[in-house]
């Protein structure tokens, strides 16, 4: 069946290892859009970390959409209208912040407007994330976070420290929240209802697109939910080996314009 919606992850997928957009990927996205295919950037990044890329890809016209915060926010890119917004309550934030202290890991919370940390010694990965997604970092005590609309919380630390902490997270936190490791140094925590898969299903339903007409391209564990719900799951050659087990197709690596290869081969039928 003809593919009408393609969900595309950013880091490790759409962009090269140097975080650049290749001419081949740009051209494939333009051809797919011209053919009436919805190309939907689907990422763990906040909206501020995607805006420039949406502009570069010409994906800010009426009828263009973006999924951010791992599915916590779905927006019309031309108007900014929010179709889905799932947040974390202040009480839940307090529980997670206390847990981070008990586990001895750095933590920050993200709103649509900024990154907030209660760590006076701001972790280097918080600084890295702020630079990556073009967002300011603020120091706030837990008591000062009561009025913030938190979309995502992240435990960020050295991989070995983070892995040891993850192993000690109580079982009830896995029941209460969506927890997914998106990088060796990132554990993302979102509202239980949030996933890239749920966001794609919601958007496809709104657009009248059957799930049999959907494809997703990703590389890491936070892409699993969307790869599991679409008809054509595509994993990058550089992707997580466990993720490749559920792929219908393996495309080229992100440094070889794998997204372009996937779109041209399995959407446009050009290769």
Helices assigned H by DSSP within the chain: 23-34, 51-56, 90-103, 124-133, 159-166, 171-176, 196-207, 224-229, 241-244, 258-266
DSSP element (H, E) containing 252: none
CB count in 10 Å sphere of residue 216: 30
Contact 46, 135 (CB under 8 A): yes
DSSP element (H, E) containing 246: none
- Name the 3-class secondary structure at 84: strand
- Look at residues 25, 1, 3 and name the one whose alpha carbon lies nearest to residue 13: 25
Note the Cα 209 to chain centre separation in Å.
21
Side-chain-side CA neighbours of residue 247 (13 Å):
23
Gap between the Cα atoms of 63 and 78, Å rounded: 8
Contact 133, 48 (CB under 8 A): yes
Gap between the Cα atoms of 66 and 41, Å rounded: 5
Within 8 A by CB and 6+ apart from 101, the residues are none
113 is annotated as an active-site residue: no
Positions marked catalytic = 9
């Amino acid at each position: 069946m003809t593919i009408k919606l393609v969900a595309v992850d950013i880091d490790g997928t759409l962009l090269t290892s140097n975080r650049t957009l290749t001419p081949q990927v740009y051209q494939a996205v333009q051809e797919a859009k011209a053919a009436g295919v919805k190309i939907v950037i689907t990422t763990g990044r906040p909206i501020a970390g995607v805006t420039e890329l949406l502009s570069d890809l010409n994906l800010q016209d009426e009828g263009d959409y973006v999924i951010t915060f791992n599915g916590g926010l779905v927006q019309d890119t031309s108007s900014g209208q929010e179709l889905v917004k799932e947040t974390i309550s202040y009480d839940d934030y307090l529980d997670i912040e206390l847990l981070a202290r008990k586990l001895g890991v750095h933590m920050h919370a993200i709103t649509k407007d900024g990154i907030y940390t209660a760590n006076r010694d701001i972790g280097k990965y918080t600084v890295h994330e702020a630079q990556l997604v073009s967002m300011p970092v603020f120091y706030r005590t837990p008591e000062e976070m009561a009025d913030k609309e938190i979309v995502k919380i992240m435990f960020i630390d050295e991989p070995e420290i983070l892995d040891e902490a993850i192993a000690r997270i109580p079982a009830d936190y896995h029941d209460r929240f969506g927890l997914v490791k998106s990088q060796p140094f990132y554990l993302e925590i979102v509202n239980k209802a949030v996933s890239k898969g749920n966001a794609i299903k919601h958007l496809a339903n709104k657009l009248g697109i059957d799930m049999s007409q959907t494809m997703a391209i990703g590389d890491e564990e936070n892409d699993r939910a969307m790869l599991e719900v679409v008809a054509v799951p595509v994993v990058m050659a550089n992707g997580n080996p466990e993720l490749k087990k559920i792929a219908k197709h393996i495309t080229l690596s992100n440094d070889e314009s794998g997204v372009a290869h996937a779109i041209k081969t399995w959407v446009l039928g050009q290769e």
